[in-house]
Amino acid sequence: MNPNIESADTRPERHTKENTVASSAPTFRSQAGLGSPAGFDSATPGPSARTLARKARAARSLLPRPKAGEVRVRVGALGMTPHGLQAAGLVEAVGPEAGGFAPGDRVSYRATAENSGLRPTVSERDLIGFPKDIALDQAASLLPYGLIARTIVKQLHAVGRGNRVFVTPDEAGVDDFVKAWIADLGGRTVDTVEAADVVVAASDYSAARRWRYGQGLSQQAAVDVFQAVRRGVFDHFEITSYPLAEAERARTELTSTPDAGPIVLLPAA
């Protein structure tokens, strides 16, 4: 188990900008007819916990076992950006030689055609771990924007206390995250290039999206983002949630309103 990652319980919360969150992890009680007063006659007992556990084990046995260096993730949230999807979920099973994570750990990764689905096997190298005080929807929706903004203010530039920074607008809305980082670092944004001693140009956004961190450095960068989340750096960004079944509606909002803010898809319980 990764020593930097706290073990998680199996009930991920949901966070809005007020940080009063409450989304439930998948449970068997939420399945149609199970544990629901409408699903059973009052004289007929519902399925026992042992029966439900047996069904859960049977369902898991139908999934492919993770291979060497892989883990299986149960996805709980998918963050949508103009440039792709960021998944977040709980490690469900680990394969041989996958020593960095353990079942129950919270992880995030960039969703691709190769690791699509809600219970995919993912290479351990592609995972970023995060602690249990960061909700799944926060990790999925804030991490992509936060990493790009961090790369700009800390890798492409070295923004610090007292810097005056002109921030070129970004069509995907990353500029607002850059401004939040600048304020947290003790700098301030200015309205003109002439008044600035640091200029964030349009090319910086493209460079940051292409940035590839070396071995282990992506995890360190992500830790920086999650620490910023804890400090409240991104509290003013409201996370808009949609059921996964309404992905097309969410995509329409994302493309028609680029500055709509972070959008997350939540799979059905």
Pair 89, 75: CB distance under 8 Å? yes
Asked if pLDDT for residue 11 goes beyond 50, the answer is: no
Q: Does residue 111 sit in helix, strand or coil?
A: strand
**Is 43 inside a domain boundary?**
yes
Residue with tokens 């001693």: 197
236 within a domain of the structure (yes/no): no
Confirm whether 53 is domain-assigned.
yes
Dihedral over Cα of 89, 267, 66, 80: its sign: negative
Yes or no: say if 65 and 91 are a contact pair by the CB < 8 Å rule.
no
Beta bridge partners of 212: none
What mean pLDDT comes out for the span 84-88?
A: 95
Mean pLDDT for all residues in the chain:
81
**DSSP helix/strand/coil, 42:** coil
| Residue 145 tokens, joined | 């924007």
Phi and psi torsions of 112, nearest 5°: -130, 175
- pLDDT on residue 258: 67
Q: Looking at the 3D structure of the chain, how many domains does it have?
A: 1
pLDDT of 35 over the 70 cut:
no
Q: Are 225 and 202 in contact (CB under 8 A)?
A: no
Instruction: Say if 191 falls within a structural domain.
Output: no
Q: Within 197-236, where are the H helices? A: 202-210, 217-231
How many Cα atoms sit within 13 Å of 255 on the Cβ side?
A: 7
Nearest alpha carbon to residue 200 among 153, 145, 150, 258:
153
Beta partners for residue 81, in sequence order: 84
Q: pLDDT of 202-233, one tens digit each? A: 999 999 999 987 767 889 999 999 999 999 99
Question: What is the per-residue pLDDT across 190-202, written as a single tens digit (0 to 9) for each?
Answer: 999 999 999 999 9
Model confidence at 103, pLDDT cuts 50, 70, 90, reads very high
How does pLDDT run across 119-150, given as a tens digit for each residue?
Answer: 999 999 999 999 999 999 999 999 999 999 99
Domain of 53, in residue numbers: 31-62
Residue 88 has pLDDT above 70, yes or no: yes
Q: How confident is the model at residue 268 (pLDDT cuts 50, 70, 90)?
A: confident
Residue 157 lies in a domain: no
* Residue 37 included in any domain: yes
Q: How far apart are CA 190 and CA 57, in angstroms?
A: 58
DSSP-derived pairing of the beta strands 188-189 and 164-167: parallel
CA 100 – CA 116 distance, rounded (Å): 22
pLDDT at 215: 63
Confirm whether 50 is domain-assigned: yes
Scanning the structure block, which residue is given the tokens 């804890």? 230
Q: What residues have CB less than 8 Å from 186, skipping those under 6 apart? A: 160, 161, 162, 163
Main-chain dihedrals φ then ψ at residue 5, nearest 5 degrees: -115, 130
